[in-house]
């Protein structure tokens, strides 16, 4: 019955999206852990320099979907079928190392490298890939930390450990680290769920700034957050895409009963 419902609407194509330039195109994506199918035949397009939020109850495959986009899913032994195109290129045919330099990721729990200074944390992706020009590195550190709205707070303690700052600052440090390698897409896996409301607000403001330059896909448990930061929202339920539409429309007049039930808190 659910399958029928899915076929009746043009999922993957919110009204406004036709006017957008498509950055990532996902066709019939299924992701597996062993034989368990976690993501079930999802097709959707992610527009360039917009924020797409993925919402849905726990265990609905949001994170797995996100991790399929930069091939982190296979790091934990997962496999996928279907196709994902980044700017028209099949990501399964590209080298995961290079793909991940284009598609950065911010994790749920802040994870700065504890053995590195704040400075080195920001440029870890560059330094460990053999880039050592000190002058350019310092410029990148300042630029990235400013973009991550952290510069003023840490500019005098750049030599201190990345683990010594507060959780909210650590998460912004991780964002700075991600944007330092100048990716095209940033994936965020519940980036604010481990943070207090003030830090959360800061991250949300940051997302607003970042979308001027980057395409952002954010997984979130928090529907208000999705409504605040995103241009488009996709609602996942047990591995299926129930609805994908303009965020405003999704939260004002959801197209599906199930979506409405979820966002109004009747289930999930």
Partner 1 sequence: MEIKSNMKNFNYYRRKSTNYFMISISFLSALVTLIPLIFIFYYTISKGIANLNLNFFTKLPTPVGESGGGMVNAIVGTLILIGIGGGVGIPVGILSGTYLSEFGHNKFGFLVRFLTDVLSGIPSIVVGVVAYTLVVLPMKHFSALAGGIALAILMIPTITRTTEEMIKLVPQSYREAGLALGIPKWKTTISIVLKTAWKGIATGILLGLSRAAGETAPLLFTTLGNRFWSTNVFQPIASLTVYIYEYSTSPFKDWNDQAWTAALVLILLISVLSLTFRIITRSKYKS
Q: Among residues 245, 241, 256, 259, which one has the least CA distance to residue 42?
A: 241
Interatomic CA distance for residues 250 and 243, integer angstroms? 8
Q: Which stretch binds partner 1 (CB under 8 A): 45-53, 86-94, 123-131, 195-203?
A: 123-131
Burial class (CB in 10 A: 0-12, 13-18, 19+), 82: middle
Q: Which is nearer to partner 1, 75 or 136 (CB)?
A: 75
Contact set for partner 1, span 57-76 (CB under 8 A):
70, 72, 75
Q: How far is the CB of 186 from partner 1 (least distance, A)?
A: 10
Q: Which is nearer to partner 1, 147 or 178 (CB)?
A: 178
Q: Which is nearer to partner 1, 174 or 227 (CB)?
A: 174
By CB under 8 A, residue 115 contacts partner 1: yes
Contact set for partner 1, span 141-180 (CB under 8 A):
160-161, 163-164, 174, 177-178
Q: How far is the CB of 268 from partner 1 (least distance, A)?
A: 26
Q: How far is the CB of 123 from partner 1 (least distance, A)?
A: 10
- Which residue of 113, 151, 193, 213 would you call a contact of partner 1, by CB under 8 A? 113
Q: Which is nearer to partner 1, 9 or 194 (CB)?
A: 194
Contact set for partner 1, span 200-259 (CB under 8 A):
none
By CB under 8 A, residue 109 contacts partner 1: yes
Interatomic CA distance for residues 87 and 183, integer angstroms? 13
By CB under 8 A, residue 181 contacts partner 1: yes
Site residues (CB under 8 A) for partner 1? Answer: 70, 72, 75, 97-101, 104-105, 107, 109, 111, 113-115, 117, 124-125, 128-129, 160-161, 163-164, 174, 177-178, 181
């Amino acid at each position: 019955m659910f399958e029928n419902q899915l076929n009746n609407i043009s999922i993957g194509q919110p009204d406004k999206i036709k006017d957008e330039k498509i950055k990532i195109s996902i066709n019939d994506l299924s992701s597996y852990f062993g034989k368990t199918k976690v993501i079930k035949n999802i097709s959707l397009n992610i527009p360039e320099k917009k924020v797409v939020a993925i919402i849905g109850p726990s265990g609905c495959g949001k994170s797995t979907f996100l991790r399929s986009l930069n091939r982190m899913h296979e790091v934990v032994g997962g496999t996928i079928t279907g196709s994902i195109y980044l700017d028209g290129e099949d990501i399964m045919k590209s080298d995961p190392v290079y793909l991940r330099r284009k598609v950065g990721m911010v994790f749920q729990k802040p994870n700065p490298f504890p053995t590195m200074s704040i400075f080195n944390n920001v440029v870890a992706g560059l330094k460990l890939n053999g880039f050592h020009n000190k002058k350019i590195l310092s410029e990148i550190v300042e630029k990235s930390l400013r973009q991550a709205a952290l510069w003023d707070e840490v500019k005098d303690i750049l030599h201190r450990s990345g683990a010594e700052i507060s959780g909210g600052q650590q998460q912004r440090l991780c964002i700075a680290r991600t944007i330092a390698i100048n990716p095209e897409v940033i994936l965020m896996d519940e980036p604010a769920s481990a943070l207090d409301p003030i830090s959360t607000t800061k991250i949300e403001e940051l997302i607003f700034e970042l979308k001027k330059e980057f395409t952002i896909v954010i997984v979130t448990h928090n529907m208000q957050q999705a409504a605040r930061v995103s241009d488009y929202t996709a609602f996942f339920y047990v591995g299926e895409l129930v609805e994908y539409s303009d965020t405003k429309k999704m939260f004002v007049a959801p197209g599906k009963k199930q979506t409405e039930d979820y966002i109004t808190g009747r289930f999930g």
